[in-house]
Structure 1
Amino acid sequence: MTVSISIQPRRLPEPRAMLRLIKPITWFPPIWAYLCGSVSAGVPLSGNWGMVLLGMVLAGPIVCGMSQAANDWCDRHVDAVNEPDRPIPSGRIPGRWGLYIALAMTALSLWVGSLLGTWGFWATVAGVIAAWAYSAEPVRLKRSGWWGPGLVGLSYEGLPWFTGAAVLLQAAPRFEIVMIALLYAFGAHGIMTLNDFKALEGDRQHGVRSLPVVLGPEVAAKIACTVMGMAQALVIPLLALWGKPLHALGVLAVLILQIAAMRVLFRDPKGKAPWYNGTGVVLYVTGMMISAFALRGLA
């Protein structure tokens, strides 16, 4: 007697896999940046918490979650090499469901963005375009180790900061806010470069020219840390020039701690990149909030 067992492929996504697809761990940077922008605007938060919280949800779970779903769909062949247990290559999100989820969240992003007024809506449009330009053919800016991380840094740090301030002001933020947001977005290029270390092998096989692939982990790590350090080194004198010396000292203090962490990273860039993302990056975003309070005092 022969017993045969046939395993039928899934027809519907597994709920847990859907949550993993939109990667909650990646939501923090844009949520934090949006909060920094809200703080820096100088508008009282007490009467505007509804708009602040809605913007944080939009920046994190919705727009960032959508970008992660779009990226996983467009990267499903690369992930089959790097991380075959991910939701799409593992089959827990079958067929074209990854694409459908990304498209549905794109529509949701635009609808929620419209609730934040004109500035919030058009900033959301910019974020959605950036997400698809990063991952999807024929643009697929993630193929470049320079343009890809730059776009993500701008979308994760600069755009949410600008939006958080613009939504509360219902106007374009002043020069100082835009300048600090751009500097921290520039520095985030380094964070994104370090994030590319985890996909080194698959990127190499599929022609993604990330800096770790093109230059090697040692050089890429040094470039990433230099970019992060340079951004903060420019923030410090600007805050001092604008009459906020104590805040400038605060940013200097977290930068010094990051430099100590960078020395550890350089000993084993590939192995220590995840550690630095959980250490140096926390210090980096601490400096962002210090700067936001400095800008708030200028309002």
Structure 2
Amino acid sequence: MLLGRVKSEDDNKLKSFQAGFLKNLKSLYRFTRPNTLNGLVIAVTSICCLPLQNLGDLTPTFFMEVFKTVVPAALMAIYMTAINQLVDVKIDKINKPDLPLASGDFSIKTGVAITLTCAMMSLAMGIMIGSPPLAWGLILWFILVTAYSIDLPFLRWKRNAFLAAISIMIGYGVGIQFSFFIHIQKYVLGRSVVITRSLIFTTGVITCMSLAKALLKDLHDVDGDKEYGIRTFSVMLGKER
């Protein structure tokens, strides 16, 4: 009887551990904002394919180098969404109450730990790969994301619609495009740097899309942004317009 009780308690502890683990895993998944993460991974992978000239370039080495490029980019994308959640907990309680920090599923300490880990790992990997354009692209991305989100003097650019749009357009439209393209072209394929028409076209399209994103991305966040003085285009124009 005693053995049965001990076994039952062990089973309950195991089930409790499994439930807690799955809950934290789901919270981590939501914390990474998978829609944003998936979009950026696809975008970076697509950029890496732009310098290709023929099927002979599609070697196992190329795919491995693309993977090594996508990983730090994905980590920086997580940092981007994470730092924004950290500084916007109060706003997210109004706009996005289901996010882990806003809902209380994650503590602030946990959020800080994940955010810093992703940023440091991304920058470290970018530097260790030994490609200056990749490293500088990640550094530029880090600076723009931090300036956009963090609440310090002369920063928190998201409070100003113009600065927010400029940072998004530079980061998405120009910085990521050119740095990752040159990284693959010169340091993976071993070719001279040539700015191709496909890169110019893609940069133009992504820049326009980035501007549209800057205009529309906060459409569902008007209530919280307005209450906390975040003057996005959506706040200034209103939901109806």
Pick the TM interval, shorter chain: 0.7 to 0.9
TM-score (norm 2): 0.76
- Could you say if the C-alpha distance between residues 166 and 216 of structure 1 is closer, same or farther in structure 2, counting changes exceeding 3 Å? same
For 1:56, the equivalent position in structure 2 comes to 70
Q: 2:174 aligns with which of 130, 133, 158?
A: 158
Give me the whole-angstrom Cα distance separating, in 2, the residues matched to 1:81 and 1:73.
14
The answer to whether residue 144 in structure 2 is matched with residue 130 in structure 1 is: yes
Q: Quick one: structure 1 residues 30 and 109, their matched pair in 2 at CA, closer, same or farther if it must change by over 3 Å?
A: same
Contact 1:33/1:160, CA 8 A, preserved across alignment: no
Partner of 2:24: 14
Distance in 2 separating the partners of 1:53 and 1:147: 32
Give 1:65 deviation, angstroms.
Answer: 0.8
Q: Does 1:36 align with 2:46?
A: yes
2:205 to 161, 180, 184: 184
Aligned partner of 1:73 among 86, 98, 101:
86
Tell me the CA shift for residue 86 of structure 1: 1.4
Aligned partner of 1:148 in structure 2 is 164
C-alpha separation between the residues in 2 aligned to 1:71 and 1:27?
14
- Unaligned stretches of 5+ in structure 1? 1-9, 220-299
Supply the distance in 2 between the matched residues of 1:91 and 1:33 (Cα, whole angstroms): 32
- Identity %, equivalent residues: 21
CA–CA distance in structure 2, aligned partners of residues 145 and 98 of structure 1: 26
Q: Deviations over 1:24-78 (max 9, x none)?
A: 110233223323322222352334111112222332x311111101100011111
| 1:90 is the counterpart of 2:112 | no
Distance 1:19 1:194 in 2: 24
Q: Which 5+ residue runs of structure 2 have no aligned equivalent?
A: 1-19, 187-191
Q: 1:181 to 1:29 in 2, by over 3 A?
A: same
Aligned to 1:107: 120
1:27 aligns with 2:37: yes
Distance 1:172 1:75 in 2: 40
Distance between the aligned counterparts of 1:22 and 1:116, measured in 2? 27
Per-residue deviation, residues 173-226 of structure 1 (Å, max 9, x unmatched):
51645533442342121023221111111011011111011022354xxxxxxx
> In structure 2, what is the equivalent of residue 200 of structure 1?
222
Looking at structure 2, the residues matched to 97 and 105 of structure 1 have their Cα atoms a distance apart, in angstroms, of 12
Over 3 Å counting, the alpha-carbon distance change for 1:26 and 1:62 in structure 2 is: same
Q: More displaced, 61-70 or 77-86?
A: 77-86
Please give the residue correspondences for 1:238-277 in structure 2 after superposition, counting only pairs within 5 Å.
Answer: none
Taking the aligned partners of 2:124 and 2:58, their CA distance within structure 1 comes to 24
Query: What is the aligned length?
Result: 207
Paired residue for 1:263?
Answer: none
The aligned amino acid for 1:216 is: G
In 1, distance between residues paired with 2:147 and 2:202? 21
Distance (whole Å) between structure 1 residues aligned to residue 146 and residue 71 of structure 2: 20
RMSD over equivalenced CA pairs, Å: 2.3
Higher Cα Rg, which structure: 2
**Could you state the TM-score of these two structures normalised by the residue count of structure 1?**
0.63
Q: Which amino acid aligns with 1:49?
A: F
| Separation in 1, partners of 2:130, 2:63 | 12
